[in-house]
């Protein structure tokens, strides 16, 4: 399967614990996006990378959240000191990129986080 | 006011009916996307368009740039079309801003 993959698919944690999610994009895609979706709502943008550079972060991304894409391939999203409000589906997407062209984003299956 | 507004929020139809979902946006965009989300979370891109009209099977998407409005039509609806349909816009080719989605249920 050459689509976007995410791991784990489900994570249950206790408040105050740290969690880390992984996203593997489609191999030739140089853009990688993280979104968050709470129940009944549309997804919200968190951050995105072009290759290994983090180009934009939402103000939703508090200092408890950090994302990396160290070699321009897979990415990790870490949440420190989780809170119940962090419970959501975390979605990763990838796409090609160029200055003047918009490309379709391909989404992974998501990681559902439950903070108890 | 959200940058992307969809209507209706919920839609129930009988199999075979013609369905329309509307999307309005308030910002300048490089493209508008229609996405489908099934229970369990997986999101699939249906269309990306910046002008005119696109058709794929029983699905048709239109956009009016001047009015900042797009519609997604489903002809001859089927129960397997039941899903959440999400409108999203991209600005300067990067991140997507999403509407809240339309929950469509098609009854047999």
Quick: pLDDT tens for B35-94.
Answer: 999 887 789 999 999 999 999 999 999 999 999 999 999 999 999 999 999 999 998 657
**CB B41 to CB A112 under 8 A?**
yes
pLDDT of residue B1: 63
pLDDT tens-digit profile of A20-45?
Answer: 999 999 999 999 999 999 988 999 99
Tell me whether the omega of the peptide bond preceding residue A8 falls within 30 degrees of 0, making it cis: yes
* pLDDT at residue A2 greater than cutoff 80: no
**CB A41 to CB B101 under 8 A?**
yes
Q: What is the distance between the alpha carbons of residues B102 and B87, in angstroms, rounded to a whole number?
A: 9
Residues of chain B that touch chain A, judged by Cβ-Cβ distance less than 8 Å:
4, 30-31, 33, 35, 40-45, 48, 50, 86, 88, 90, 93-101
**H, E, C per residue of B47-91:** EEECCEEEEECCEEEEEECCCCEEEEEECCCCHHHCEEEEEEEEC
**CB B93 to CB A101 under 8 A?**
yes
Closest-CA distance of chain A to residue B51, Å = 13
For B53, the token pair is 């009209």
Share of chain B above pLDDT 90, in %: 84
A27 secondary structure, DSSP code: T
């Amino acid at each position: 399967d050459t689509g976007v993959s995410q791991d784990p698919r489900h994570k249950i944690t206790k408040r105050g614990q740290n969690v880390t999610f992984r996203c593997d994009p489609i191999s030739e895609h140089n853009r990688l996006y993280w979104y968050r979706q709470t129940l009944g709502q549309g997804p919200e943008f968190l951050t995105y990378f072009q290759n290994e550079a983090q180009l934009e972060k939402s103000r939703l991304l508090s200092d408890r959240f950090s994302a990396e894409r160290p070699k321009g391939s897979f990415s990790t999203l870490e949440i420190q000191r989780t809170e119940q409000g962090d419970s959501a589906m975390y979605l990763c997407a990838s796409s090609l990129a160029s200055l003047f062209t918009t490309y379709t984003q391909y989404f992974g299956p998501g990681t559902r986080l439950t903070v108890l | 006011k959200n940058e992307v507004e969809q209507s209706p929020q919920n839609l129930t139809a009988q199999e075979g009916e013609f369905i329309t979902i509307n999307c309005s946006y308030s910002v300048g965009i490089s493209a508008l996307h229609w996405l489908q989300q099934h229970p369990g979370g997986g999101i699939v891109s249906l269309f990306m368009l910046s002008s005119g009209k696109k058709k794929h099977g029983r699905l048709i998407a239109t956009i009016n740039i001047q009015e900042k409005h797009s519609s997604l039509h489903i002809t001859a609806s089927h129960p397997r079309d039941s899903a959440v349909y999400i409108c999203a816009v991209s600005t300067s080719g990067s991140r997507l801003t999403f509407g809240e989605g339309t929950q469509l249920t098609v009854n047999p």
